[in-house]
Structure formats: C-alpha cells, structure tokens
Amino acid sequence: MRFRTVVALIGALALSLVTGCAKGGSAGSSANTVTYWLWDANQLPAYRACAKGFERENPGLKVKITQIGYNDYWTKLTASFIAGTQPDVFTDHIQKFGQFSDLKVLEPLDNLRIKASDYQPGLADNWIGEDGHRYGAPKDWDTVALFYNRKMAKAAGISAEQFDTLSWNPRDGGTFEKAIAHLTVDKNGRRGDEPGFDKNNVKVYGLATGGAGDGSGQIQWSAFTGSAGWSYTDKKRWGTKYNYDSDTFQAIVDWYFGLAKKGYLAPLEVYGDTANPPNAQMAAGKAATAFDGAWLLSTYYGAKGLDVGTARTPVGPTGKRATMMNGLADSVSKGARNKEGARKWVAYLASDACQTLVGEYGIVFPATRAGTKAAVAAYEKQGVDTTAFTQPVADKKDFTTFSFPITNYAADVYALMRPAMQDLYANDAPVSGLDETNRQINFLLNQ
C-alpha cells in the first residue's frame, strides 16, 4: 500500500471515530434500489423530478435520495466509506477528488462513454484520475463574480458600468480598492477614503469577508491570483509541486488580507470563517459587496430588502479577468451494493434529459449546454442577470477560467493551508511563512 494511501486512510479513520460510524449496509440498499446522496436542499426537488424520469425509463429500479447539509456531508461520507455504509452514488466535489483517489473508494466510469464535447469546456476532463480512468460524470458548474448592493452603490455614486470596469493590482489595489474604500462607512458616516475615517468602528464594510479560506481561496482571493497569471501547481491536473512560495502569490494575499487592516474588509474575528457567510453580511446591510459563487444567485436575489446587482471580476495585471470555474460530478462508490443500477443512474444524471430538467428549476447551471441554456432562461424569468457568471465560460479573450487544484493529498493540503491562511488574516503573520508550508506540502506530494 502506497504511503499516501496510508496517510489518507488515517485521516479518514479519524473522521469516522469523530462521527461514530455504524457497521452494516447502506440504508435502503437492495437489488432494485439505488441510494444517492447530495448536500444542497435547494436542488433536492429537481433531482427528485429526475429520479421520477429515471424510474419511468428503468422499470423496477428505484432511487432513494438522501440530503445532508454541506458541513456534515463530507464527514459522514468519508466515515461511511470506512464503515461500509456508503451510498451507491454521491455528489462529488473536485476539491475532494484527490482524497477519494488516495482512499481508492471510487468506481471507474469509463464504460459510460462520457464525451467531453457534450459538456461545458473542462468539466469532463477534470474527473480523469491520475491512472487515466474516469471517476465522475459532469453534473453542473459555477463561476465567481462580484455582488453589490445597488442602494449603497447609488449613495456612493458608483454606477453599474463602473463596477463592471474595475481593475486591480497588488501595489495600490487599483480602482477596485478605491471603490471598496469609498463604499466602506464608519459609525460616524465617514467613508473609507475620507479624512477621519475610523477603521476600528466600521458600520458597513466595502467588501464582505468569506473568511480566511484555504489553499484554493475560491470566493476570497482566487479571482486576483488568477488574473495575475499565478497557478496553484506545476500542472493543470495532478501536479507534483504547489506554488504557494511564489512571490506573486504572497504579494497578492498580503494585499488582500491587508484590506482588513485598512478597515475595508471585516477582520476575521468579526464574522469568523463560517458563521456569517458573505450573503448574510450583505442581507444584513453590513457589507456593500461580496465575491461569491453562481450557486447562490437565487439566495442573493431572493434576500428580503436587498436590491442586488452583479459585476464581472476586476481586470488584473495580465489584462484579463479571472474566475475559478468549479464543476461538480456524480460518482459511484467502489463499494456500491447496486453497481449496475448506480451506473444507469449516473448516466441519466449526466444526460440532457435530467440536466435540462434541473436547469428549468433555475437554481444551478447544469454541465450540458442544453442544461445551461435552460437555467439561463429560468433565471431570466426570475429577473436574475446571469451575465457576470456565464460570460467567463464563453469569452476566453477577456477571461481566464481555472479549476480547483487537483492533486494527491488533497485533505492534507487543506489541513496545512487553512491554518496558515487564518494566521495571515487574523494574526498578521508574514506571508513568507508560506514558504515552509509549501515545502511541507511538496514533501508529501513527492512521497
């Protein structure tokens, strides 16, 4: 057994001890039932509708869907692999792919004959393992953009056109930092760029905090590092060297977390890492803008009393805008009780039939082009402008899109980078300390 597999198993076993795994088969598992886990309650009705369509096409087969909240989902899923209570099929995240690859808990899906051209660019290829086999069928995708409070923007004299033409650099923050400073208001009504501004008593922060993040910085700093030309690893997929020791990366995160020292971004201790997400801060009137993902479009637009607009990510030093483009997939557990039924269900989930149906619910962008088209139409009916999220996928001239880093030891990278980033944000630790963290990560990757 390879060293990295042993390390991954130790981590997974620790999780199982915390959650208290019960021995035995998956609940509801039988020859004519496929068990399926997902985490998003908003998507549950759409996938129940897909299950009905699947059952009509496959008489005798039933799909049992279990929804588990995101924070508990991964702990319970990892523990289930150890206990032997895993679902037949589950919603998978690319950030977890490396860990599950190490654990060897995924069933190859080569026989599904997934064609990359049937899906939005890059989504299918990301789920090819280091061994060349497919382990996920494309499900949906998301990008990141800037949400802003229209009322606060109007009071600050910043137009929608100005939001959409912001640029930044790590030296002085560019027009992006100027806008964020002007949107920040202290308890006495002074703006962040006005004399006498009290950075220690802020009423409205110009930019909502997404916490310290981890090694990906999806809704925190990834739009900045991407538009500066920095890459997480030495290869697009299955890299063997991380680049957190890069001068470019360290200068960017030093500038980004420095926004908190200036009072434009809430200090970590104000909202913590997870208790009050950016959408809650904006809904409460505590922040004027927020970087966030397409999966929360309906949440922002549906927030009571919040008139929200969206803008593209700012132009960076490369002259381009950038956003992470994440894509979820459906995977089959290697220990699935009903593998034949599981493969059929995954194939149906990845089809235009299911993805178009999901798109019509207007809650997420499905992976197929037809599914995406249906979602855009559904959002438009709700009065939701999706341009800031969909344009990066189609416009490669002005945008750079990139994925979560896909490597082995994914759980260990997270465990090392998360406290390191918290130290930068909360304790003003020097960014040069990331050199040692990066060395530890690369040591693991090369075992």
Q: What is the pLDDT of residues 94-127, one digit of tens each?
A: 999 999 988 899 999 999 999 999 999 999 999 9
- Whether 198 and 283 have beta carbons less than 8 Å apart is answered as no
Reported as a pLDDT band with limits 50, 70 and 90, residue 30 is low
Say how far apart CA 144 and CA 293 lie, in whole Å: 4
Q: What is the DSSP letter of 21?
A: P
Say how far apart CA 170 and CA 317 lie, in whole Å: 9
pLDDT higher than 60, residue 23: no
Q: Angle 70-83/3-19 helices, nearest 10 degrees?
A: 110
Reported as a pLDDT band with limits 50, 70 and 90, residue 263 is very high
- Whether 190 and 197 have beta carbons less than 8 Å apart is answered as yes
Percent of the chain surpassing pLDDT 90: 89
Give me the residues paired with residue 37 across strands. Answer: 66, 90
Say how far apart CA 313 and CA 290 lie, in whole Å: 11
pLDDT of residue 71: 84
- Whether 128 and 237 have beta carbons less than 8 Å apart is answered as yes
| 413-423 average pLDDT score | 96
| All residues at 6 or more sequence positions from 344 whose CB lies less than 8 Å from its CB, including other chains | 34, 54, 58, 61
pLDDT of residue 226: 98
Percent of the chain surpassing pLDDT 70: 93
Q: What is the pLDDT of residues 353-394, one digit of tens each?
A: 999 999 999 999 999 999 999 999 999 999 999 999 999 999
